[in-house]
Amino acid sequence: MALFPTSGTSPGTSPGGTSSGGASGIRTGVAGVGGLAGRAAGGQTFSPLAGITQRPPLSGGLPAASLGGKLQISNDEFVQLRDFIYAQSGIFIAEARKYLVENRLNNRIKALNLKSFGEYYYYLRFDPNRREELTKLFEVITTNETSFWRNPPQLQIFQDKVLTGELDKLRRAGQKKLRIWSAGCSTGEEPYTLAIILHEVLKSEISTWDIRITANDLSEAVLAAARKGVYSTYALRTTPRDIVTRYFIEEGGNYRIDPRMKRLIAFGPINLSDKMMLKRVERSNIIFCRNVIIYFDEEMKRQVIESFYDNLLPGGCMLIGHSESLHNISRAFKPEYHAGTIVYRKEG
């Protein structure tokens, strides 16, 4: 999953350093956490705005300025929406990205027949249909640039070192149960890649193992695409041709994933900012969270990484994106340095 780039400025503070009156910084909706649509991983529903039944008057009552039929967002409206998005998802949108908020939300505002970004903000907070719109909001502000076999050197280390070592350890202990968590799975390329690697390593032995890959994302739309499991040639651009031949079925120019891979994966929404939701995820031997935390501010990074550490079983490993680092974020993990990647291990 890719999101808007972040900056070090905390939400609730305007560029001039004064309080914006925005959210406190506790988010509830990153990388597929169920909170954004009001549904937790276990199916429970909740409302972060429970008890609020009345919509306050719109500030100023004036529509936003428009240019050529396109609404323009004011600084105050941007701060309101930025802080709201952070509070709901942990995604912090830097001031320099204000134009992206303006561009991407114009169609949503028009679809709802609203007249300004201020009206849209109040719709998100108080309208009876706000949960449905929250889902659409996060689908609009997130992008999902990914592919199968992304970062091949890292995946090779995962296959040769991390996975093989974990399987050997579990065999010796007589525990053929493996849990992998793909946090921020986007449209499914990462968890399906991991499922293929498991088949490649275990071969026929895989039928004797209890294996589950938990795959979560913020967006219900990308999860629907992941469950469908049909991909373009572009999504397979870095995938070895023999892997494509063995694990995909060509259909009219697209490629459908082998149903055996689907049986290893449980897709579901999750909000990485919701500590209680993260605690409900089954404890993992291995966690993949690539190209997600780079879009969080420092406080949110620490919160999420701490939750990952707590989720990992003793001796478990975490892999993050090649441009991401735990420097100044956490010293709990023992880093293991390999050519092309760093593996973060929980000692024990």
What's domain 34-141's architecture?
A: Orthogonal Bundle (1.10)
Half-sphere exposure of 153 (CA within 13 A, CB side): 9
Residue 338, strand partner residues: 341
Cα–Cα nearest to 1, from 155, 176, 226, 200 = 226
The more confidently predicted of residues 136 and 310 is 310
What integer is the mean pLDDT of 4-29? 34
CB 21 within 8 A of CB 12: yes
What is the rounded (10 degree) CA torsion for 54, 57, 58, 62? 150
- pLDDT for residue 145: 67
- Classify residue 47 by burial, with Cβ atoms within 10 Å: 0-12, 13-18, 19+: exposed
Q: What is the mean pLDDT of the chain?
A: 81
CB 236 within 8 A of CB 146: no
26-78 pLDDT per residue, tens: 233 343 333 333 333 333 322 333 333 334 444 444 444 555 578 999 999 99
96-114 pLDDT per residue, tens: 888 888 998 999 999 999 9
| Among the ranges given (30-39, 161-170, 319-328), the one the predictor scored with the smallest mean pLDDT | 30-39
The more confidently predicted of residues 30 and 226 is 226
For the chain, the domains span 34-141, 152-345
% of the chain beyond a pLDDT of 70:
79
Token pair recorded at residue 85: 């998005």
C-alpha–C-alpha distance, residues 270 and 309, integer Å: 17
The more confidently predicted of residues 88 and 78 is 78
Give CA 133 to chain center in angstroms.
18
- Give the DSSP per-residue string, 267-278: EEE--TT-HHHH
CB 188 within 8 A of CB 215: yes
Q: pTM surpassing 0.75?
A: no
Buried b (16+ CB within 10 A) or exposed e, 215-253: bbbbbbbbbebbeebbbeeebbeebeeebbeebbeeeee
152-345 topology per CATH = Rossmann fold (3.40.50)
